[in-house]
């Protein structure tokens, strides 16, 4: 989360980073699936994040207006709606949960007006539902809202506090820091978490300032690659474009994070939210809901509960898709899946319909392969068998998403 800095993308730097990370062909299939032994040559040997994290975060919808009632009701809703069974297991409190000052021993204090029962009791409640509780802090003097202390110079103490409360996830922001580089400040919390006595998913949120995809795997389980998302079409697309630059650096145990989902918050049309969810899924991004899951519309629920799209995101191969071709406002995104399958998104960024073709040589499929295509939004396997390419008509500000399977 970032509230105070302007969005500024230095194109030359991104081009350089793109050159640095794109050492393989766009759609090269791995010789073997990643083994667990490869996951953690790092400071953070917690065994978490073998697939992108799924759950909910309070910030996008509630901002600072969050309390223990909201958290409990959200946990209840994830279970009663069936979303928890689909993998949405993290219930993450974002900023504004603590008092402005620490106690006499320097410990963080839950805000009495909004979390009167304390965080430990809240964690017990969330755990009783079969879910996990996440919390928020900052690698600075204050958090981004400046309503509570950050963890700078209190890393070990706060990590032990979080572990004692039963916290399962830490989102760690970058506001009001001391001017030292994130590569100095963030590993301090990593070490603190490893000594805290409890596995805690570590989500780095330094906004992509120092290109954390280049160093984040040794420090955390995911890393923000961008500034904050806004609930509109242009923001969503700009965010996923920036995230795509680092596709080669995502893998089981560590994921590129283009920020939480906006699906259901009302700023985009339904077809735009379908494109949003599809792009996050194929990009192996965290699927962290940012809406009020206590009051879901049927349209929103149908998007976020699509098991076929979720399966692409959670595929064990763990390879992030890339934008393999673009012609004006028509784009082809593709990435390999386990079982020799390929996920494909045909994206229409334009305000008018487009016919979009994905060619096998762009996608990474042998040219003469016969392909069976499963439309994961229509939940049907197409009768046509495709050779060389697949073409689909795509509505404005929307996409088509397929899982491609070679059959000959």
Is residue 17's pLDDT more than 60?
no
Q: Are 206 and 186 in contact (CB under 8 A)?
A: yes
For residue 125, give the H/E element and its range: helix 119-128
- Residue 28 confidence (pLDDT): 40
Q: How far apart are CA 259 and CA 224, in angstroms?
A: 7
Q: 109 Cβ partners below 8 Å, 6+ apart?
A: 98, 99, 101, 102, 103
Give the three-class secondary structure for 381.
strand
Q: How far apart are CA 76 and CA 292, in angstroms?
A: 12
Q: How far apart are CA 54 and CA 301, in angstroms?
A: 15
Q: How far apart are CA 24 and CA 19, in angstroms?
A: 11
List phi, psi (to 5°) of 391: -120, 140
pLDDT band at 189 (very low <50, low <70, confident <90, very high): very high
Average pLDDT over residues 152-170: 98
- Residue 34 confidence (pLDDT): 42
What is the average pLDDT score of the chain?
Answer: 92
pLDDT band at 275 (very low <50, low <70, confident <90, very high): very high
- Residue 30 confidence (pLDDT): 37
228 catalytic, yes or no? yes
Higher pLDDT, 324 or 10: 324
C-alpha dihedral over 253, 256, 257, 263, to 10 degrees? -100
Q: How far apart are CA 363 and CA 367, in angstroms?
A: 10
User: What is the tens place of the pLDDT at every residue in 321-370?
Assistant: 999 999 999 999 999 999 999 999 999 999 999 999 999 999 999 999 99
User: What is the tens place of the pLDDT at every residue in 80-119?
Assistant: 999 999 999 999 999 999 999 999 999 999 999 999 999 9
Q: Point out the catalytic residue in the list 173, 231, 248, 292.
A: 173
10 pairs with which residues across the strands? none
Comparing C-alpha atoms, which of 372, 376, 371, 381 is closest to residue 402? 376
Q: Point out the catalytic residue in the list 67, 95, 228, 231.
A: 228
Burial class (CB within 10 angstroms; exposed 0-12, middle 13-18, buried 19+) of 149 = buried
168 catalytic, yes or no? no
């Amino acid at each position: 989360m970032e509230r105070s800095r302007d969005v500024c993308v230095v194109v030359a730097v991104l081009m350089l980073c793109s050159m640095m990370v794109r050492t393989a062909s766009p759609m090269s299939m791995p010789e073997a699936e990643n083994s667990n032994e490869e996951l953690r040559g790092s400071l953070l040997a917690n065994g978490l994040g073998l697939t992108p994290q799924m759950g909910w975060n309070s910030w996008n919808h509630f901002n600072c207006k969050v309390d223990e009632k909201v958290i409990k009701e959200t946990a209840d809703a994830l279970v009663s709606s069936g979303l928890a069974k689909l993998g949405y297991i993290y219930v993450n409190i974002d900023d504004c949960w603590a008092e402005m000052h620490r106690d006499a021993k320097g410990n963080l204090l839950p805000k009495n007006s909004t979390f009167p029962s304390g965080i430990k009791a809240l964690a017990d409640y969330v755990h009783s539902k079969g879910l996990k509780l996440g919390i928020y802090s900052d690698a600075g003097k204050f958090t981004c809202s400046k309503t509570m202390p950050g963890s700078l110079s209190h890393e070990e103490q706060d990590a032990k506090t979080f572990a004692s409360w039963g916290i399962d996830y830490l989102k760690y922001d970058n506001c009001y820091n001391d001017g030292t580089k994130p590569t100095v400040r963030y590993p301090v919390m990593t070490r603190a978490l490893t000594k805290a006595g409890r596995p805690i998913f570590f989500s780095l949120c330094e906004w992509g300032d120092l290109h954390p995809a280049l160093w984040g795997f040794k420090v955390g389980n995911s890393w923000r690659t961008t500034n904050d998302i806004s609930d509109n079409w242009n923001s969503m697309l700009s965010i996923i474009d920036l995230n795509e630059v680092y596709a080669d650096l995502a893998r089981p145990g560590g994921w590129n994070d283009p920020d939480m989902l906006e699906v259901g918050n009302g700023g985009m049309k339904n077809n735009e939210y379908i494109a949003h969810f599809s792009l996050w899924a194929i990009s192996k991004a965290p699927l962290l809901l940012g809406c009020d899951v206590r009051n879901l519309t049927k349209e929103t629920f149908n998007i976020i509960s699509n098991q076929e799209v979720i399966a692409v995101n959670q595929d064990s191969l763990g390879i992030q898709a890339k934008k393999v071709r673009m012609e004006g406002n028509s784009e082809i995104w593709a990435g390999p899946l386990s079982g020799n399958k390929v996920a494909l998104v045909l994206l229409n960024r334009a305000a008018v319909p487009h016919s979009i073709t994905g060619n096998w040589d762009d996608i990474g499929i042998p040219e003469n392969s016969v392909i069976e295509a499963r439309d994961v939004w229509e939940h049907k396997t197409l009768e046509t068998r495709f050779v060389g390419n697949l073409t689909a008509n795509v509505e404005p500000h929307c996409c088509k998403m397929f899982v491609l399977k070679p059959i000959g």
